[in-house]
Amino acid sequence: MDEDIIVLDTYDKAKKWLGEHVHRNFFPLNPEFNTLSRLVDRHPSKNEWVNQVPTSFKISRSPGNGALVMYVRFEGLSNYRIVSWVACAKGKLASHQQSDNNNNNKLNSAMRYAIRIQVSNYKKAHPTQVCALCGTGYRIEVDHYLKHFVDIKEDYIKIKLERGDPPPIVFKWHPKKGNFMFRDGTKADGYYDKKWKVAWQKYHNTHATYRYLCSTCNKKTNKSVPDSVIPSLPSVTLTPLVPLPPLLLK
């Protein structure tokens, strides 16, 4: 029944509709199935998927942050996969998932991921977590201070470029954590990627200092990239931006 199909072509529409249908499974006999199929059709990478025909849907919420998650089972696959309903509704990928040319975001993601242990070591060494600006102990994040992460990162890239040591351009995607990682590289290239990463970790370790901020104050500090996206902070396994795992791609 075509008139039952609701077109979810904006973030707000999709969020509202999915919120009203959460914690349910939908099969081809359910009228909602067509609405969800139409939504998945809007995914910007759908043409590249090996398995494209949905057989059932499950809408859930991430236990971590309450974000809506759309699971889809495709013909030919036995397990449900997470499909980004945000990408479907908007008809485009989040900036960090855009085409392979968008290497600055991948590099940024990998560079943040590479220093996550240093950030957790700071937390371990400073068990009293209180916001340096407002004094709350609620929703505390680690902030790079005085120097912002982005400045340490750019300084390092500049130094490396001056030495003829450009950043790696190919990265691994971590589907559960939702970020990119450096590869080890190959024997033929002398494990260049790994060396670049290790040198970055050392540089960051000697240049970064931190403070605690609550998430509200952290957002207000008006940096181009908030430190709240550091992948070491509480797991974001099921955010709606997690794309299809690479297995589904040709």
Single out the residue of 109, 96, 94 nearest to residue 167, CA to CA. Answer: 109
**Three-class SS state of 69:** strand
Using rule CB under 5 A, residue 152 touches Zn ion: no
Residue 68 or 217: the one with the smaller Cβ distance to Zn ion is: 217
Residue 135 or 246: the one with the smaller Cβ distance to Zn ion is: 135
192-207 vs 116-125: helix crossing angle, rounded to 10: 30
Instruction: State the nearest-atom distance from the C-beta of 208 to Zn ion, in Å.
Output: 20
Residue 129 or 201: the one with the smaller Cβ distance to Zn ion is: 129
Contacts of 191 (CB under 8 A, 6+ apart): 184, 185
Using rule CB under 5 A, residue 214 touches Zn ion: yes
Instruction: State the nearest-atom distance from the C-beta of 227 to Zn ion, in Å.
Output: 13
Among 59, 131, 142, 152, binds Zn ion (CB under 5 A): 131
Kindly report the backbone phi and psi dihedral angles of residue 209, in degrees, each rounded to the nearest multiple of 5, phi listed first: -130, 160
Q: How many residues bind Zn ion (CB under 5 A)?
A: 5
Single out the residue of 75, 1, 3, 8 nearest to residue 38, CA to CA. Answer: 8
CA-CA distance, 179 to 103, in Å (whole number)? 13
The per-residue b/e assignment along 158-193, b for 16 or more CB within 10 angstroms, e otherwise, is: eebeeeeeebbeebbbebebbbbbbbebeeeeeebb
Among 7, 117, 134, 249, binds Zn ion (CB under 5 A): 134
DSSP state of 166: P
Instruction: State the nearest-atom distance from the C-beta of 129 to Zn ion, in Å.
Output: 11
Instruction: State the nearest-atom distance from the C-beta of 216 to Zn ion, in Å.
Output: 6
Instruction: State the nearest-atom distance from the C-beta of 132 to Zn ion, in Å.
Output: 8
Residue 136 or 201: the one with the smaller Cβ distance to Zn ion is: 136
Residue 158 or 220: the one with the smaller Cβ distance to Zn ion is: 220
Span of 101-109, 123-131, 153-161, 198-206 interacting with Zn ion by CB under 5 A:
123-131
Single out the residue of 157, 122, 156 nearest to residue 142, CA to CA. Answer: 122
Q: Encoding tokens for residue 45? A: 């990478």
Distance from first CA to last CA of the chain, Å, rounded? 33
Among 133, 150, 181, 241, binds Zn ion (CB under 5 A): 133
Residue 120 or 129: the one with the smaller Cβ distance to Zn ion is: 129
Are residues 17 and 6 in contact, defined by beta-carbon separation less than 8 angstroms? Answer: yes
Span of 8-16, 36-44, 51-59, 124-132 interacting with Zn ion by CB under 5 A:
124-132
Instruction: State the nearest-atom distance from the C-beta of 136 to Zn ion, in Å.
Output: 5
Using rule CB under 5 A, residue 217 touches Zn ion: yes
Instruction: State the nearest-atom distance from the C-beta of 135 to Zn ion, in Å.
Output: 7
- Site residues (CB under 5 A) for Zn ion? 131, 133-134, 214, 217
